Amino acid sequence: MLALVSPGQGAQTPGMLAPWLDLESVASRLRWAGAITGIDLVRLGTTGSAEEIRDTAVAQPLLVAFALAIAGELQEPAPSVVAGHSVGEYAAAAIAGAITAETALVLARERGRLMAAASSAERTGMSAVLGGDADAVAKALADRGLVAANVNTAGQVVAAGLLDALGDLAAAPPDGARVRPLDVAGAFHTTYMGSAHDGLAAVAASVPRKDPRITLLGNGDGAVVSSGDDVVRRLVQQVTSPVRWDLCMHSLADLGVTMLVELPPAGTLVGLARRALPGVETLAVKTPDDLETVRAMSWRHAAPATEPGPSWRLAVAPVAGTFRPSDVAPGSEMAPGSVVGTVVSSRDEKPVAATHGGVLVEWLAHDGDPVSPGQPVARLHPVLEPA
């Protein structure tokens, strides 16, 4: 099974687009992205300074545009699952077909602009906490009013909050831990971004969306996201909510992923996967020369093609665990969003929703059955509107 992942802010480097512009198809997509966003992304990604592309209002649309431009070169074989870290989730949502590339670019532009404005309101930042006991790290953050804004692996947490509190953490880190300040403008994925959340929610309220056609993992909890409405809700919600990339990697393992490809600017997520997903083949797409390697390797891991699905609808498990059905009898009509059951995992419980509603035709999983992420648990037939 093939997974395609997209990195987040901080992965950008000066001149990163330059070697890719010799590919006219990539250059064309990047020019179009610049027209959509109203930002000269080609210039910024080739001759822009480190300070220019550090600007949150620039970095976020630039990263999404870059990921989507290269994803366009890797459409065959199609990945079985996609995910993105932080703003990388916007590219992942477009690759999965939940939103268009143009929508992803506009939302990323607005997200970057709004988060840059929110960052200027207070002196906040982020620092990586590497190593140390997980409970001791959590206590050290809580004692200082800091938030674990990114949990990347068991030994890599990103703390966010006021700069003075981050400075105190660096001066007295938990035993066995190192604290490294990150070159970002503010405390992303925390309540300090509340104004950005509200502004983005207003923009996103009416964007066109569809149910993903490729399995998409939400970066807030690693769950399979099966509804277009839920995709857009999560894209807004993650502005003030922590990124749980550790849970995304748990889901990649539960899904049986055998190869993970990271879109450029690549390296960070592959590095995490090599430690957390032993046995999974990984490849970071760093130069145009890597494209043929990815294509050749990907065919060995691609899922077999399937015939178009029937007219009924499926409710699917968001995570791996044990299924517990609701007390609903086959033949019952369920309203859109109705809960058909829960999946109990080792961490928590997740509801299983009948996204579009319908008449329950049959259970595909039963009480106590183990289920994997994205596994159908119930089949429903659409309710036809009167002529």
How do 215-216 and 147-153 pair as beta strands? Answer: unpaired
Distance linking the first and last C-alpha atoms of the chain: 43
Catalytic residue among 80, 86, 127, 298: 86
Would you call 381 a catalytic residue per the annotation?
A: no
Please state, in angstroms and as integers, the Cα–Cα distance from residue 264 to each residue in 91, 166, 211, following that order.
11, 30, 26
160 φ, ψ (degrees, to nearest 5): -140, 145
Rounded-to-integer distance, Cα 220 and Cα 234, Å:
8
106 φ, ψ (degrees, to nearest 5): -65, -45
Query: Between vectors from CA 235 to CA 233 and to CA 240, what angle results, nearest 5°?
Result: 95
Rounded-to-integer distance, Cα 361 and Cα 382, Å:
10
- Contact by Cβ (8 Å): 288, 22: yes
Q: Where does residue 243 rank: exposed (0-12), middle (13-18), buried (19+ CB within 10 A)? A: buried
Would you call 86 a catalytic residue per the annotation?
A: yes
- Contact by Cβ (8 Å): 104, 87: no
The two three-digit tokens of residue 330, written as one number: 């086959």
Catalytic residue among 85, 119, 189, 298: 189
User: What does 140-175 look like in DSSP terms, one character per residue?
Assistant: HHHHTT-EEEEEEETTEEEEEEEHHHHHHHHHSPPT
Rounded-to-integer distance, Cα 65 and Cα 51, Å:
19
Rounded-to-integer distance, Cα 239 and Cα 122, Å:
16
User: Residue holding tokens 């049986």?
Assistant: 256
Residues whose CB is less than 8 angstroms from the CB of residue 372 and which lie 6 or more positions away in sequence, other chains included: 254, 255, 256, 317, 320
Please state, in angstroms and as integers, the Cα–Cα distance from residue 44 to each residue in 93, 216, 374, following that order.
24, 30, 39
Return the active site residues.
86, 189
